[in-house]
Every structure is written in C-alpha cells, then in structure tokens.
C-alpha cells in the first residue's frame, strides 16, 4: 500500500474515532434533551386534553378507546424519560473533569448548570404525577374500608380488602392499646352516618360515582374480553392449524395406500367387534324375516364391504388423532403467547376475580368451595377423572392404560384435596374466618 493511501486511511480512522469520541462526550446533553422533549409532550397532552391536569386513565370525559390511546402514549413517553434520565446519570458518572476539558478543546460546549437544573426540575415536576412512592403504596394497603362502602379501585390489581387487624396493630405500634385508644367519644354508627351525609352533600360525589362505575365497567369489559380470547384463540388456532397446516402436510408426505389403519390395539379390537356385530345382525335379520339362508358368497361379500368401510373410518380416525397432537402444540403455543403479551389484562382479570370473590357472602363462598371440592376430589370424582383421561387418550390416539388411570386417580385427587385444605387453613382462614366456619358447618 502506498504512503498516500496509508495517510488517507489514517485520516479516516482518526476522523471516525474523533466523531465517536464527540458522540460519547455529548451523551449527557443528548439524553437530557430527549428526556426533556418527552416531558414536554406529556405536558402538551395534559394542557390540550385534560385542562392542564394529570392524564387520568379513569377519567369519564373520554371513551375507553380514547383513554387506551392516551394511556399507551403516556406509558411510552414515561418509559423514554426514565431511560434517558438513567443514561444521563450514568454518562455523567463516567465523565470527569479531564473529559470535560477534552470536550471544550474539541469545540463542545456543555449547558450551564442552572439550565440543566431547570430542565431536570421540569422533568421531575411532570413525571412525579405518575410516580407511586413506596410510602403511598403502604398507606393505601393499610386502609380498611367499611363493609358497606363502595368498592373503588383502579384497573391495576389491588390487595384483598380485608386485612387482619392484629397484624396491623403489631406493625404500626408494638405497645398494646387500651380501651380509651380504640373507643371514640361518639358511637361509630353516628360517625358513619355523618360521613355518609357528607358524601351525599358533596357536589362532586356524582362525578366520583360515575368515575367509579366507569372503572368497574371498563374492568369487567376487559376481563370478559380476555376470558373469551383465552378460549377462542386456542380453539381457532387448533382448527386452523389442523385444517391448513398439519392436515395438508401429513397428506402430502404420507402414502394413503400404506398408511397404518390402527395406531393402537384398542382401535383394532373395536373394529373387529363392529364387524362381528354386523355379521351377527345380518344373520339375525335373515332368521326373523324367514328369508332363504344367505349363501357363503353373499355373506363374504357383505362382510368384505363392511370391513372396508370400517377400515376407512378407523384410518381417518388414526390420521385425525395424529393431527390433533400437532394442532394441540400450536394451541398451547398460542395460549402461552397470549398470556405473555397480555400481562396488563392478566392483572385486570385478577382484580376482577378478587372483587367477585371478596364480594360474595360467606355462604356463597362456602357453597362454591364445597362444589369444587366435591367435583374434583369428592366421592364421585374418580368416575369423572376416568372419563376425562380416556377422552384425552382417544383424542391423541393413545391406548387407555388402565394401570396409569387408576394410579392417577389414586394420587392426583388426594394432592388436590391437600392443596384445598392447606389453602383454606393458610389463607381463607385469615381473610374470611366466617366463611370457613360456614364451610365447616355445611360440610358436616
């Protein structure tokens, strides 16, 4: 290589390294500028659509679709602000005085400290509305509502409304409280009546009720829609994969003339029994109609036609069982994908079921527990498990192993019964002791 080419190559490498070094030195200002721009966009949405207030996803001013749009933009902008602030802090931590002097020599002028602080204060002021502090979470978790108070919760999952008072007393104050500390001057019923009157006379109470109703309506719609998706998407995936992917693939690479008719011994026995019943029925009908006896040639022809029909039927059933195996894999993959991409919907549906379960009466809770335990681990449950396992085996074309079915029935319901009892003792006994007492009385 000539000296001129070496010089040109060295200049290109030097200019590239210099540009990379300048980009590295400008990282703090670039990150701060992008975070500031994202905060400005959040403030613009607040000023334009929410009268300068916080972007409240529970607002009754817009429809659910519009609020979903605002919520999506807000989450993207908040994520961008947090990432750029983290990049700003990390880059400033790595840059020292020598780097700053080098930046000044290369013509890079840093923003003044007052200007940087002004932008950081603006960013913190904007995103602080959407940042939940741990102290706020703790204070919200400790609040215990009255039994008749309306349920007010956001779309995000909340803790159960009933919290043991003993644990709260231990965490809040280790000293035992006397009766004078727990008993008020006025009866609690009078205080609750006064509080209810204050709520009814509040001019903003109607708007709060509408917002609460919209929150509950939105939570219910999202939960029902997600439950339907969990049912419909795997079923549709199974049928589409079976009809357009697995089925044509097997028909293309399998020779229909050499395809095995029976994929297990049970199918062969069923086919043999069906042909035998056909032969016996044909002889019986010939006897009761006083017709002339069938010749061996006619009997053989009829049996051969029936055997071909039965063989074609079981060949189709065997092929269908093989297709079910691969189609089920696609269904499980679709279900897992739906669960992964719908984490927010899972949180909503958990909150939805929490409100349903904790809103039931004690007798209803006890009834549901007894119903589920009797179905899955009760006296008649082995027959249901046997039918279920045989159906799954036939769906996949597997022979029903009686030893495995009996072993499963002897162990799995026992494990479920132990889990139910542990859940009742460990959790339900703390959350709703009266429901446990009702359950025991009904179970006896």
pLDDT at 7: 66
Question: CA-CA distance, 112 to 84, in Å (whole number)?
Answer: 19
pLDDT at 59: 63
Question: CA-CA distance, 123 to 127, in Å (whole number)?
Answer: 6
Contact in structure between 44 and 122 (CB atoms under 8 Å): no
For every residue of 239-285, DSSP letters joined together read HHHIIIIIHHHHHHHS-TTT--S-SSHHHHHHHHHHHHHHHHHHHHH
Task: List Cα–Cα distances, 71 to 6, 89, 123, 163, 344, in angstroms.
Answer: 56, 27, 19, 31, 12
Phi and psi angles of residue 26, each rounded to the nearest 5 degrees, phi first? -90, 5
pLDDT at 359: 81
pLDDT at 270: 87
pLDDT at 373: 86
Question: CA-CA distance, 106 to 101, in Å (whole number)?
Answer: 9
Whole-model pTM? 0.52
pLDDT at 152: 40
Q: Could you list the mean pLDDT of each consecutive 10-residue stretch along the chain, which spans 444 residues?
A: 60 69 75 88 85 74 76 86 84 62 58 80 87 48 39 40 40 43 56 70 73 85 91 93 86 65 81 89 83 80 89 86 91 93 86 84 87 84 89 86 89 90 85 84 77
pLDDT at 21: 67
Task: List Cα–Cα distances, 413 to 97, 109, 436, 443, 444, in angstroms.
Answer: 70, 73, 21, 18, 20
- Please name the residues in contact with 215: beta carbons below 8 A apart, sequence gap of 6 or more: 58, 152, 153, 154, 155
Q: Where are the domains of the chain?
A: 3-131, 360-444
pLDDT at 267: 84
Contact in structure between 354 and 160 (CB atoms under 8 Å): yes
pLDDT at 258: 56
Question: CA-CA distance, 163 to 144, in Å (whole number)?
Answer: 7
pLDDT at 27: 79
């Amino acid at each position: 290589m000539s000296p001129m080419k070496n010089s040109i190559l060295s200049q290109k490498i030097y200019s590239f390294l210099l540009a990379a070094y300048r980009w590295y030195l400008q990282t703090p200002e670039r990150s701060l500028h992008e975070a500031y721009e994202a905060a400005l966009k959040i403030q613009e949405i607040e000023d334009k659509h929410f009268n300068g207030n916080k972007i409240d996803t529970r607002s009754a001013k817009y429809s659910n679709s519009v609020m979903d749009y605002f919520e999506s933009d807000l989450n993207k902008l908040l994520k961008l602000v947090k990432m750029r602030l983290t990049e700003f802090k990390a880059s400033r931590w790595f840059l020292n005085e020598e780097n700053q002097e080098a930046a000044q020599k290369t013509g890079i002028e840093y923003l003044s400290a007052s200007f940087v602080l002004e932008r950081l204060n603006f960013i913190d002021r904007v995103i602080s509305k959407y940042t939940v502090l741990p102290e706020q979470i703790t204070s919200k978790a400790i609040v215990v509502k009255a039994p008749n108070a309306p349920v007010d919760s956001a779309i995000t999952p909340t803790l159960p409304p009933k919290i043991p008072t003993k644990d709260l007393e231990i965490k809040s104050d280790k000293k035992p409280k006397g009766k004078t500390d727990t008993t008020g001057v006025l009866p609690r019923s009078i205080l609750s009546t006064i509080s209810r009157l204050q709520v009814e006379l509040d001019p903003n109470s109607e708007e709060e009720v509408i917002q609460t109703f919209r929150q509950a309506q939105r939570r219910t719609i999202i939960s029902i829609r997600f439950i339907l998706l969990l049912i419909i998407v795997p079923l549709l995936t199974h049928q589409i994969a079976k009809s357009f992917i697995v089925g044509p693939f097997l028909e293309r690479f399998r020779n229909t003339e050499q395809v095995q008719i029976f994929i297990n011994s049970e199918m062969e026995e069923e086919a043999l029994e069906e042909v035998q019943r056909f032969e016996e029925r044909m002889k019986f009908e010939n006897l009761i109609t006083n017709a002339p006896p069938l010749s061996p040639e006619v009997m053989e022809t009829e049996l051969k036609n029936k055997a071909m029909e039965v063989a074609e039927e079981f060949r189709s059933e065997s092929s269908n069982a093989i297709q079910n195996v691969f189609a089920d894999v696609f269904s499980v993959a679709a279900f897992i994908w739906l669960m992964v991409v719908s984490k927010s919907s899972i949180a909503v549906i958990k909150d939805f079921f929490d409100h349903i379960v904790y809103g039931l009466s004690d007798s209803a809770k006890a009834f549901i527990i007894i119903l589920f335990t009797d179905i899955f681990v009760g006296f008649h449950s082995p027959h249901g498990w046997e039918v279920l396992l045989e159906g799954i085996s036939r769906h996949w074309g597997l022979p029903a192993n009686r030893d495995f079915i009996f072993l499963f029935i002897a162990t799995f319901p026992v494990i479920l019964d132990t889990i139910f009892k542990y859940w009742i003792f460990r959790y339900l006994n703390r959350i709703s002791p009266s429901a446990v007492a009702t359950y025991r009385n009904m179970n006896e």
